[in-house]
Amino acid sequence: MDKAEWSRSRFWLGHFLYSRHDRPPVPWQGGAQLPTVLGPPLARWLRGRLGRGEDFGPCMIAHAIHGHAQDPAYIQAVRLWVKERGHHRHLYQQLIGCLAASPSQQLPACNSLGRRILRWRFRLLGARFEMSVQLLDDLVDLAVLRAIDAIGTGPTVRGVCEIVRREKQAHLAFTRERLTLLYADFNFIRRNLRRLRLRTMCVALIWQVARQNGPLLHAAGTTRIRFMRQTFQQFSTVLEHMVPYRRQALLAALVDQRREPYAKPSQLTS
């Protein structure tokens, strides 16, 4: 189903081109005005985000170039998607510097072993798996950002969270729509096995984030259990959009993509 030009490629290219020019400035001069209890756990979470997915971009771009040469809009959309993810890491890096009241350090480089593992994983499991990893990563990040936003923060933290949250919402829709297309040829058994694998991956990721960031969640006014339950409910909604249990729902989503190639994600059939 992904050999020809994707009907949504041009919409997403236009979206990413516009998004970077529509990004509001962050009021860095105000500094990070946070409750004392929130600063250290937030900095710890941000540091954990800096290295994640850093080397994923080149693999996805290379796959798009070699596997989808007939769809240049998709290739450019992937490039811009990867670039936005890099910009989020840069914002996190700057925010860590504000929290520490010291100059921010360079982003940690992924070591050679990490690069080799990622390349082999990409070769063995493919672009579908890597896109699903990024989708789950965005989903959990959005849950953490919502928790942070629920408490009073200064304009700097609020500005960073607003930019990242808005753009990650679009990333979530982009990967969800693309994976809907990539899963379209799966039969009933493969589709349900994929649903099971995604659920397992999601539970593992949510548990890891909740375990490592308990103080941050507590400072944001929630608990690990509540965070895990709410995030998994959000994942279940995304899963039903992306890999519907019924074949008819999947076909309806694909028809909607072709019929409304420039519609906003919220206007397409779920």
Question: What are the structure tokens assigned to 141, written together?
Answer: 């990040």
Among residues 267, 247, 241, which one has the least CA distance to residue 256? 267
Phi (first) and psi of residue 97, to 5 degrees: -60, -40
83-117: burial string, b at 16+ Cβ within 10 Å, e else: ebbeebbebbbbbbbbbeeeeeeeeeebeeeeeee
List the single range of 108-117, 240-249, 256-265 with lowest mean pLDDT.
Answer: 108-117
Mean pLDDT taken over the chain: 84
Tell me the mean pLDDT in the region 84-89: 92
Contact between 131 and 202 under an 8 Å Cβ cutoff? The reply is no
H or E stretch at 120: helix 112-149
Residue 255 lies in a domain: yes
Residue 2 lies in a domain: no
Distance CA 109, CA 223 (A): 33
Residue range 182-196, pLDDT digits in tens: 888 888 888 889 899
In this structure, the chain runs to a length of: 270
Question: What are the structure tokens assigned to 69, written together?
Answer: 């040469």
Residue 250 lies in a domain: yes
Identify the CATH number of the domain in which residue 136 sits: 1.20.1260.10
Residue 82 lies in a domain: yes
pLDDT for 72 equals: 95
Residue 4 lies in a domain: no
pLDDT for 248 equals: 80
Residue 100 lies in a domain: yes
pLDDT for 2 equals: 55
Distance CA 14, CA 70 (A): 18
Band (pLDDT 50/70/90 cuts) for residue 8 is very high
Band (pLDDT 50/70/90 cuts) for residue 210 is very high
Range of the domain at 150: 9-267
Q: What DSSP designation does 132 have?
A: H
Tell me the mean pLDDT in the region 79-87: 94
Residue 3 lies in a domain: no
Residue 77 lies in a domain: yes
Provide the angle, in degrees to the nearest 10, between the axes of the packed helices 155-182 and 112-149.
Answer: 120
Residue range 34-79, pLDDT digits in tens: 666 677 888 889 888 876 666 677 888 888 998 899 999 999 999 9
How many domains does one find in the chain? 1
Spatial neighbors of 88 by CB under 8 A, at least 6 apart, are: 49, 163, 164, 167, 168
- pTM confidence score: 0.87
Contact between 253 and 268 under an 8 Å Cβ cutoff? The reply is yes
Provide the angle, in degrees to the nearest 10, between the axes of the packed helices 224-242 and 112-149.
Answer: 110
Residue range 121-142, pLDDT digits in tens: 655 667 888 889 999 999 999 9
Among residues 85, 215, 90, which one has the least CA distance to residue 147? 215
